[in-house]
Each structure stands twice: as C-alpha cells, then as structure tokens.
Amino acid sequence: MLLDEKKTVMAGSKVGPGKYVCIDCGSEIGLDAVEQDLRKCPQCACEEYQCMPMTHVRPDVKTPADAVNPPKRGKSNQ
C-alpha cells in the first residue's frame, strides 16, 4: 500500500490491532486485540473508518502481557 493510499473499513468488520479514524468526524478509535469487531463511531454513528494498521510490532512481543511489559533488549535497558 502506498503511503498516500487510504484503506477504509466498515463498522461490523472483524479487524486487527491499529488506529481507525472516522471518515466523517475524524474521531479515532484504537484497537489492540486481533479479530475485534469495529463499532460505529461513538461521536457521529458513521460506519466507515480510515484504517491505519499496526505495523511496528516488535518480533519479540508475542502476547498481550509482553506488549504491556515488553521484554528488555539491548544495553540501554540494563
């Protein structure tokens, strides 16, 4: 996907973790669970969002607990 290309998803879709921005009012919804249902916008009830998937997950973060307390790595974390 190109940086300027915008992907949209509809409310009710099972989506992955990431940030979803309402195309009508600009409200942001952040989801952190895989296969979580995307709800209608709480501000304006719009059902379409611009999708910004989470693409920067560290390979050593494998569980939700790891995301909250990421494993230490490198000399800066000692």
The pLDDT tens digits of the residues spanning 38-73 come to: 899 999 999 999 887 665 556 776 676 776 777 776
Residue 77 is predicted with a pLDDT of 47
Residues 6+ away with beta carbon under 8 Å from 70: 58, 60, 61
Residue 76 lies in a domain: no
Residue 46 lies in a domain: yes
Residue 12 lies in a domain: yes
Residue 40 is predicted with a pLDDT of 92
Residue 4 has pLDDT above 60, yes or no: no
pLDDT-derived band at 14 (thresholds 50, 70, 90) equals confident
Stretch 23-51: mean pLDDT, rounded?
A: 88
Domain limits for position 10: 1-56
Residue 10 lies in a domain: yes
Residue 65 lies in a domain: no
Residue 31 lies in a domain: yes
Closest CA to 33 of 51, 15, 12: 15
Instruction: Count how many domains the chain has.
Output: 1
